[in-house]
Amino acid sequence: MSAHGLKGKRIKEELEQEIVSGAMGPSGTAFMTTRELAVAKDVSLKTAHRIVGMLRDSGFLELSGKRHHIRYSVRRNEKTLIGLLVTCLENPFFSSLSRNIEDAARAMNTELIIAASNYSAEGEREKLDMFCRRGVSGILACPWSVDENESAYLNLSVPYVLIGRRLKNKKADSVLVNDQMAAQKVAAHFIECGLRDFAYVGPSGLSRDERLLGFRNGLANEGMELRQENILYLENMSSRRDLESIAKLLNNRKKRLAVFCFHDLLAVRMLNACNKLGIKVPDDAAIAGFDNLPTASEVYPALTSISYPIKDMARIAFETLESKIASKETSTGIARYLEPELIVRESTMAGGKNGSAVFAQDYAMFYAS
C-alpha cells in the first residue's frame, strides 16, 4: 500500500473512532463536505473522496441528497451489539445464514452488524478490526482465510464463534458440518451407483480441504482410488484456463465419471460445462454438490447434494456466542457438529433407478432450515 493509501486508511480509522465516541454528533448529523475534509486532514480531494467512500462502505456514513450523514448511533446498555462476518452476501448459503442469524438476534433484542470479506484475507482482517472499533460485544465469523488470519482471531479482545471453519493451530468455539462424514456419504453413493472413475472439484485457496479428505477416505475404504489428475482446484470457473481444465477432465474420463464438487455453485457450473461439451448427465458423468441450495432442485437434471439444517447452525452459533458474552469467556474450544444428509436427485441416478434415493422438498427444506 502506498504512503498516501496508508495515510488515508489511518485518517479513516481516526474518523471512525470520533464517530463512535460521539465527538462528531449523533446519528443523522451532517458530515463534513469532501472539501472540508481535505482541508481539515491536509489531504487531496481525491484522497478525501476515497476516505468518505470507505466510511460509507463500512456503515458509518450514508448519503442523503447531496450530503453524507452519520449513521452510527451509540449502543444503549439494554442491547448487545454483535458483528457477523460472512464470505459473500451474494452467495445463497451466506445470505440464508445471515437471515437466520438476524432472526435469532431480533428475538433476543440484539443489534447485528453484517459485513462480508468478499473472498479477501485483507478484507476479513479489516472487517474484524471494524467490528472491534465499533464496540461489539462478540463476533460470529465464517472465516475465509484461516492460515493468513489465524492470528487476527487469536488476538480478538471479544468472544467469538466460528461457523463452518476451524482454526488450524488452536481450538476455538465453532459450529461445523461434519464435512468428512458428508463426503464419505457421497463416495458411498457413487459406489452404490456402480461408478468406478472419480473426480473432485473445489475452489482454490483452501489450506485444508476436509471434503476432499473425506471423499478420498470414503473411496479408499471400499478399495477405490481418486486419481491425482482428477482433482481440480479452480480460481474462476469462467476463466479460459479453468474451462480448459474442466473440458480436459470430462473428455479424458475412462468410463462414466463421478464428480464431487465442494459446493453446489461449482456443481451447477459443472452441469453447464457438460451441456456445452455434449456430455450427458448422469449417463456419461454423475455430479454431486454440497449445501443443498435452492438452485440444486431448479437445474436440469436436478442436483444430488449434501443437506444440513442452516437454521440450527445459525441458532447454535448465536446461542453459543450469547452464552460466552454473558460469562465473559473468550474461548472454550468446543466444536459443535451438525449431521449431514445426502439428498439424491437425478444428477447421479442413471436411468432413474436408485431404491435408496431420498427426495428433497426443495424450497421448503432449505428455507425452513
Convert the pLDDT of each residue in 335-355 to its tens digit: 899 999 999 999 998 654 443
Q: Which residue's C-alpha cell is 482446484?
A: 233
Q: What rounded mean pLDDT belongs to the chain? A: 85
Whether the ω angle into residue 340 lies within 30 degrees of 0, i.e. cis, is no
How many percent of the chain have pLDDT more than 90? 52
Query: Which whole number is the average pLDDT over 214-219?
Result: 97
User: Mind listing the pLDDT tens digit for each residue in 158-173?
Assistant: 999 999 988 877 778 9
CATH architecture for the domain at 80-177+311-338? 3-Layer(aba) Sandwich (3.40)
User: Mind listing the pLDDT tens digit for each residue in 1-33?
Assistant: 566 677 888 898 888 877 776 678 777 788 999
Domain boundaries, the chain: 3-70, 80-177+311-338, 179-308+340-368
What single-letter amino acid sits at 38? A
| Cβ-Cβ contacts under 8 Å for 136 (sequence gap 6 or more) | 81, 82, 83, 113, 158
Tell me, yes or no, if the two domains 80-177+311-338 and 179-308+340-368 fold the same way. Answer: yes
User: What is the C-alpha to C-alpha distance for residues 124 and 104, in angstroms, rounded to an integer?
Assistant: 23
Annotate 127-190 with DSSP letters as a single string: HHHHHHHTT-SEEEE--S-HHHHHHHHHT-SS-EEEES---SSS---EEEE-HHHHHHHHHHHH
236 versus 31: which is more confidently predicted?
31
Per DSSP (E only), the strands in the chain are 61-64, 67-70, 80-86, 110-116, 138-141, 160-163, 174-177, 197-203, 231-234, 257-261, 285-290, 304-307, 335-338, 341-343
- Strand pairing of 341-343 and 304-307? antiparallel
For the domain bounded by 179-308+340-368, which CATH number is listed?
A: 3.40.50.2300
Give strand pairing partners of 112.
82
Given a contact cutoff of 8 angstroms between Cβ atoms, the answer to whether 116 and 127 are in contact is yes
* Model confidence, pTM: 0.69
Q: How many residues are there in the chain?
A: 369
3-state secondary structure of 23: coil
Q: Taking the CA of residue 348 as centre, how many other CA atoms within 13 Å lie in the half-sphere pointing to its CB?
A: 34
User: Mind listing the pLDDT tens digit for each residue in 28-87?
Assistant: 788 999 999 999 999 999 999 999 988 887 778 888 888 898 876 444 445 789 999 999
Grid cell of 361 as nine digits: 422438498
Fold adopted by 3-70: Arc Repressor Mutant, subunit A (1.10.10)
Q: Is 190 left (phi over 0), alpha (psi -120 to 50) or beta?
A: alpha
